[in-house]
Amino acid sequence: MQALMIESCQPIVAGRDPLVLREIDVPRPGRGEVLIRVLACGVCHTELDEIEGRTPPAFLPMIPGHQVIGEIVELGDGVQGLDAGARIGVAWIYSACGKCEFCNRGRENLCPHFLATGRDAHGGYAEYMVAPAGFVHPIPEALATVQAAPLLCAGAIGYRSLALTELKNGQVLGLTGFGGSGHLVLHMVRHLFPDSPVYVFARSTEQRRFALELGAAWAGASDDEPPGLLDSIIDTTPAWKPSMDALSVLKPGGRLVINAIRKQEDDKDLLRTLRYEHHLWMEKEIKSVANVCRSDVREFLALAAWTDIQPEVLSYPLAHASTALFELKKGNFRGARVLVME
């Protein structure tokens, strides 16, 4: 099979492909695993973090990709409840131990043995992959294959982030950054909290225009002054400045939910400008989002199918993944990027 691999961690620069296309053997499913023929795989900002070494893979070479839609072609020993030919998805959560205190409390996203697809185990930038049967997700018939791919991470992590805001209908939500996850959260809010206005803070005029087209009540840059203070804000950016700007426009008792696996090291000095009385006083809160649980993925897929949430998608053949990654790093884009297997 063909697979795109991270062979070394290095900055993504023009003229050098960040991934290497290799022909390797099709993997075999072990006990409790399924072999999947990949149909589509979403492109996520976390792949940039892996390639550039901020979130390095557990081993090299590594096949990235954790928003995988495919069909089961072979069952390993002991697999029950799944059939060959079934269309399924594989998300960021590749596996968890199922035995620790966090797994037993329904918080497998915090499991110390959590494995991430495409970082700790080979992912979906390939024609085939294997995954534990208990961690694959049936894809509702109402969801098209390419459109379903971003729902597995951008959608599921957005769903978890929205839950962590504890937003009530009618309260004001802010979205800092408006990429694959942000535009899906806006869709969710329109269905779940129809009386809640959404203010979007985005760095590019194209993203701000896109947000307004999708129903945002206001859109501006991260340091622009919104029409009023916000009850909750979800920050999906890799930078510290938008987080600092967000804290300054929260209401008393408001909550900032940071949905980012890493923040940039080169702007950490901004934290020295944090002023307690301005940014944190009046019981403001900061909460991080760590990974996802299987329940996040499955609940959001059901919600997306029921409410007809359709992400805006730009698709690429597998061999053009580098183009998708360069555009993602540049940041001036609408919606999500998805690799489609030929």
- Higher per-residue confidence, 333 vs 312: 312
* pTM, two decimal places: 0.92
* Residue among 69, 55, 41, 57 at smallest CA distance from 324: 41
- What gap in Å lies between CA 169 and CA 173, rounded to an integer? 10
Identify the band that residue 332 occupies on the pLDDT scale cut at 50, 70 and 90. low
Supply the DSSP string of 193-230, one letter for each residue: -TT--EEEE-SSHHHHHHHHHTT-SEEE-TTSPPSS-E
Tens-place pLDDT, residues 289-316? 999 999 999 999 999 999 999 898 999 9
User: Going by DSSP bridges, is the β-strand pair 336-340/33-43 parallel, antiparallel, or unpaired?
Assistant: antiparallel
N- to C-terminal Cα separation, the chain: 12
Question: What domains are there in the chain, each with its CATH number?
Answer: 2-153+292-340 (3.90.180.10), 155-288 (3.40.50.720)
Mean pLDDT score, 131-156 = 96
Mean pLDDT score, 131-152 = 97
- What gap in Å lies between CA 223 and CA 242, rounded to an integer? 7
